[in-house]
Structure 1
Amino acid sequence: MQQKKLAFIGAGNMSRSIISGLIQSGYDKDLILASNPSTPKLDKLKEEFGIRTTQSNDEACEFADAIVLAVKPQIMGDMCAELQKNNALSDKLFLSIAAGLPVSRLQAMLGGEYPVVRIMPNTPSLLGKGMSGLYADDTVSEENRQYVDDVMGSVGETVWVEEESGINGVIAAAGSSPAYFFLFLQAMQEEAMNMGFDKASSRAMVQQAMLGAAEMVCHNQDLELSELRAQVTSKGGTTAAAVNTLIDEGLQETVSKAMRAAVARAEEMAKQL
């Protein structure tokens, strides 16, 4: 892994998860700096990982070769305006994890066509099990693309999209999807409780079943998902009765509508910001 001087502007959960993954991957802690207006989050990062910290975004910018833009989209414009006012940005690589802000908009906020990689991570990144979508235009060199891939690879898997609109598909399939699974598990837990199991036992059953199913998917990459399902669905059995009910009730169509709704909302947000 390349080791550039890397600054995080914003010290929230996603910054923390990436920093944790980098340190565990052997990244030099002295090459990582985080900035944040208040000190509690910075103090925790410094104590846990031994990285540099500052309350000055300008100090972070001066330190860094690469900068992770990890502030809320609503305040990104003001933050970038201050950066370009007080700093030379032409030699910086920017990594944005702000939802809804396209590369062209970020470049306009920064005041130049600087190399920006747009990243859409998901919450399992907090556990090193993330899935991140990445997009870069022609201003980003192959070396920098590989660097960003390595950075995000420290917290999970990555997928690059050729068109920026593909990021919205990543949102639907990976960014938002942990919530889909949580909702499904919630429904299963509640029905198990209706069947007479206590809350703890109901949760234990459904979460372990989900974990085991996910591991089976990961350990059988050569098998289609439909084949994995067929292997555990005996004709005329209990699983077949349940699966056929889900199909008859329109599960696949519902999932398709939900994912398309996520894409549509992402497109709306991009217009609003």
Structure 2
Amino acid sequence: MRQIRIGDVTIDAVIEREGPWRRPEQFFPMYDAAAWNRALPEMEPEVFNAELGMMNVTYQSFVVRSPRHTILVDTCTGEDKGHPPPFDFPGKERWRKELFALGVTYEMVDYVFCTHLHIDHTGWNTTLRDGRWVPTFPNAKYIFHKGEYAAWEAEHAKGANPPGTVFRDNCLPIVEAGQALLVDDGYALDDLITLIPTPGHSPCHCCVDITSRGQRAVVTGDMMHHAIQCREPDWCPGVDWDPKQAAASRRRFLSTVAGTDTLLLPIHFPAPTVGLVTADGDRFHYRYKRD
């Protein structure tokens, strides 16, 4: 993804992995071959590897730089976490190298926004140092939705999986270090950066709204994982916390941005990632912004 500018704000992608990753029939319990085959020609060619029969899925973060702050949105899977497949893929140093190539050091990050607290959105929150997980970004405040944090705290206390070790290693050390801000729906960092509640994929999933000088972009986290969810908004991955709520959040959000110039930045959409939504009856089209 090339850098985009929203008024006084710039946004860059930092990629951890990309390429073929999941078969749609394995990822979406509601998968229907006829619906998929009908939708495939209507979607951008980058979203599917026909030779392997797999969706192209990217794990990435977004670096948002405003005149006042350097902000990181979501932090992929991280290093040294000991995750099981498929999250144990090699080459994770790519993420760190791409961040530094943007001229951003760990110390320069002012805020880390986590759209939700899943394994592949919190990994670089912490770094292993002398046998302990510590905040990777020593000067940053980490923005967690308080309801999201509470839900996974309760699941962690029960020994549930998920979250497995994710809450213990990626979230709890941030709170213990005094670097967490637990916020409510509609939290606003300033007049440029706010949260949009889109629950369902996780208990209190949020999108990050970026508005400056009449221009707007939204980092959509896992509100949708793949462009097929624009054509089939009711299709939810098996990992969704509340599939019905997730589908309702997705339809509601897509309806509000369809036909507008709001740019979307879905975390898992392959390059060029950034796109616009148009309505098509009760469905939607996702089109990459290529210029």
- Whether TM exceeds 0.5 here: the answer is no
More helix by share: 1
The higher relative CO (CA closer than 8 Å, separation ≥ 6) is in: 2
For the pair shown, the structure with the greater C-alpha radius of gyration is 1
Q: TM-score, normalised by structure 1?
A: 0.29
